């Protein structure tokens, strides 16, 4: 073989080697980049939602934090990004349609309707977008007030094979927009577009009572859209339990008043809530409705005020016993969603007394029975006073119960008292839209 032919063969061999490396890079590094892009996208989604959750609490009526809304949102965005091992390239405020907003609250859009992020107001700029916008029209690109956060995330992904041909890393960019707003369609219009929050918590999964009226935890979720009996066994962790929104005080009268005139605090899902049991449900207690002046005596009569209506009932899946000197449970993500402690300073489970916390991941929308409703067989929505085994004992020993239908479950958002138009507790949700 001549020297010229050997040189040509060497060039071909080198070319084949580079081609082989390039193919391996596409297969190995390309697959890794796609995997990392999904990871970063999930991080961007979570980070946008973290900012929108703060806006949800603002919408629900919580007082402005000492640091201000913008600084609080910026801190949550940074915290979520760090937890997801990603970098926020930029974050902007949007309305509920996902349209970026200028500092004056107008749309940050070009003449052709495309986004103009160069003039959009970024998170961490010192304040929220201003303006007087009220009702948005998404198709017409008419913006509403600030309601969402757009996050542009990025991450440099190191390569394994491509670095041999001079490509040490590949940049991954993602984008997500999450918005907050009042949930529609959960509570009928004849209830004034709000659902009363009952000061009672139920487990995420079904429970029954044994022959001694002690709770027997279940492993399956409550069925929807069918009339059922929710037993109230003896008071103990893991059971349906009455709540005191202002512990450690309490008593039957306070419990009745919390039912007649809902006074629950703002609850963001998921979160730990310090709400130990209150009062004797068989006791007296009399409270007047702030709107109608009608008085209700006892827990049973107070709940029956809502016969036929949909009420909100907080659900719990874990309990946390805080011992003397322990810090309170942590409700921020991802800590509250990370096993095995889920933010509790001790291993969750058991406990009783005034230092017991509940982890609330959801709210149940529960339509209480009315004697005239189909499927209710002439029953009311609550049997609390005395022994009602004839109605409540479904073979599990219960002598007290709620009767009704689970119509829906809210697993993400915020519930606050007396927010928006009218009275009562509004449900504010957070939704990922882009």
**DSSP sequence for 91-145:** EEEE-TT--BB-TTSSB-B-TTS-B-TTSSPBTTSSS---S---S-BTTTTB--S
Q: Which of 176, 208, 240 is the last residue of a domain?
A: 176
Same-domain pairing of 285 and 161? no
- pLDDT, mean of each 10-residue run, the chain (434 residues): 52 58 57 70 88 85 88 94 88 92 93 92 94 81 90 76 65 86 65 75 85 78 90 69 77 84 82 75 78 90 93 90 88 88 91 78 92 94 84 76 89 60 57 77
Same-domain pairing of 147 and 240? no
131 contacts: CB under 8 Å, gap ≥ 6 = 101, 104, 105, 106, 145
Same-domain pairing of 169 and 267? no
Q: Which of 130, 145, 176 is the last residue of a domain?
A: 176
Tokens standing for residue 195: 């659902």
Domain membership of residue 256 (yes or no) is yes
pLDDT of residue 26: 55
Backbone dihedral angles phi then psi of residue 169, each to the nearest 5 degrees: -155, 160
Same-domain pairing of 100 and 124? yes
pLDDT of residue 243: 84
Domain membership of residue 181 (yes or no) is no
Domain membership of residue 151 (yes or no) is yes
Cα(388)–Cα(390) distance, integer angstroms:
5
Beta-bridge mates of residue 137: 142
Same-domain pairing of 269 and 120? no
Same-domain pairing of 349 and 374? yes
**What is the end-to-end Cα distance of the chain in Å, rounded?**
63
Domain membership of residue 45 (yes or no) is yes
Domain membership of residue 183 (yes or no) is no
pTM of the model: 0.65
Contact 88, 78 (CB under 8 A): yes
Domain membership of residue 343 (yes or no) is yes
Q: Which of 155, 176, 197 is the last residue of a domain?
A: 176
Contact 421, 258 (CB under 8 A): no
- Contacts within 8 Å (CB) and 24+ apart, 382-389: 382/299, 382/300, 382/303, 382/304, 383/300, 384/232, 384/281, 384/282, 384/298, 384/299, 384/300, 384/303, 385/281, 385/282, 385/298, 385/299, 385/300, 385/301, 386/282
Same-domain pairing of 198 and 167? no
Same-domain pairing of 98 and 230? no
Backbone dihedral angles phi then psi of residue 96, each to the nearest 5 degrees: -70, -15
343: three-class secondary structure by DSSP: coil
Number of residues that this document lists for the chain? 434
State which residues form the domain around 214.
189-432
Same-domain pairing of 158 and 196? no
Domain membership of residue 182 (yes or no) is no
Same-domain pairing of 74 and 121? yes
- Taking alpha carbons only, the member of 346, 315, 316 closest to residue 330 is 346
pLDDT of residue 294: 92
Same-domain pairing of 251 and 135? no
For residue 363, count other CB atoms closer than 10 A to its CB. Answer: 25
Domain membership of residue 184 (yes or no) is no
Same-domain pairing of 295 and 369? yes
Cα(54)–Cα(62) distance, integer angstroms:
10
Strands 413-417 and 425-432 come out as: antiparallel
Number of domains in the chain: 2
Among the residues of 246-338, which ranges form H helices? 252-260, 298-304
pLDDT of residue 422: 38
């Amino acid at each position: 073989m001549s020297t010229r032919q050997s040189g040509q063969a060497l060039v071909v061999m080198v070319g084949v080697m580079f081609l082989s490396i390039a193919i391996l890079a596409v297969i190995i590094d390309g697959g890794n980049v796609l995997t990392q892009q999904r990871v970063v996208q999930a991080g961007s989604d979570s980070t946008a939602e973290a900012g929108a959750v703060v806006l949800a609490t603002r919408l629900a009526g919580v007082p402005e934090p000492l640091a201000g809304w913008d600084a609080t949102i910026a801190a949550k965005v940074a915290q979520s990004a760090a937890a997801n091992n990603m970098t926020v390239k930029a974050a902007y405020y949007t309305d509920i349609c996902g349209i970026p907003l200028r500092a004056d609250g107008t749309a940050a859009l070009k003449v052709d309707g495309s986004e103009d992020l160069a003039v959009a107001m970024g998170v961490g700029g010192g304040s929220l977008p201003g303006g007087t916008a009220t009702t948005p029209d998404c198709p017409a690109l008419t913006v509403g007030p600030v309601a969402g956060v757009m996050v542009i995330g990025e991450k440099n992904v190191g390569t394994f094979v491509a670095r041999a041909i001079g490509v040490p890393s590949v940049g991954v960019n993602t984008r997500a927009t999450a918005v907050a707003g009042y949930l529609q369609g959960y509570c009928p219009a004849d209830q004034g577009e709000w659902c009363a929050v009952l000061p009672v918590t139920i487990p995420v999964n079904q429970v029954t009572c044994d022959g001694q009226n002690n709770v027997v935890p279940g492993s399956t979720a409550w069925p929807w859209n069918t009339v059922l009996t929710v037993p109230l066994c003896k008071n103990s962790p893991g059971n349906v339990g009455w709540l005191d929104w202002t512990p450690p005080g309490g008593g039957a009268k306070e419990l009745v008043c919390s039912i007649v005139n809902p006074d629950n605090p703002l609850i963001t899902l998921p979160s730990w809530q310090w709400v130990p049991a209150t009062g004797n449900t068989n006791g007296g207690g009399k409270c007047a409705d702030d709107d109608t002046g009608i008085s209700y005596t006892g827990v049973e009569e107070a709940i029956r005020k809502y016969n036929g209506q949909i009420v909100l009932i907080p659900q719990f899946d874990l309990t946390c016993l805080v011992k003397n000197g322990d810090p309170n449970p942590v409700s921020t993500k991802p800590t509250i969603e990370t096993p095995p402690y889920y933010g509790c300073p001790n291993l969750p489970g058991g406990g009783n007394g005034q230092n017991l916390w509940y982890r609330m991941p959801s709210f149940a929308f529960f339509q209480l029975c009315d004697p005239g409703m189909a499927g209710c067989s002439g029953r009311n929505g609550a049997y609390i006073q005395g022994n009602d085994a004839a109605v409540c004992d479904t073979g599990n020993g219960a002598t007290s119960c709620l009767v009704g239908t689970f119509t829906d479950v809210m697993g993400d958002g915020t519930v606050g008292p007396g927010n928006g138009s009218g009275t009562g507790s509004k449900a504010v949700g957070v939704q990922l839209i882009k």
